[in-house]
Amino acid sequence: MKVTYDKETDTLTIRFNENPIVESDEEKPGVIIDFDEEGNMVGIEVLDASRRVKEPTSVEFHLLPSG
């Protein structure tokens, strides 16, 4: 998984894998979901991220214990 914030375009992108994107749907205004040729979700793009995300330049990762 790869998380990118482009300050110039104010876009936050989360890619789940490197499959080619063949379709994108704007599910809600400013939130775009990208799909591969099999219809699997490849990533999410958040437009105007600084308005929608509290800290678009910060990522916190938590791994929950298995059990």
pLDDT per residue as tens digits for the range 13-57: 999 999 999 999 998 999 999 999 999 999 999 999 999 988 888
pLDDT of 67 higher than 80:
no
> Would you state the structure tokens that stand for residue 43, as one six-digit string?
């990533």
pLDDT of residue 55: 87
Q: How far apart are CA 7 and CA 9, in angstroms?
A: 6
pLDDT of residue 66: 86
* Spans of all domains in the chain: 2-52
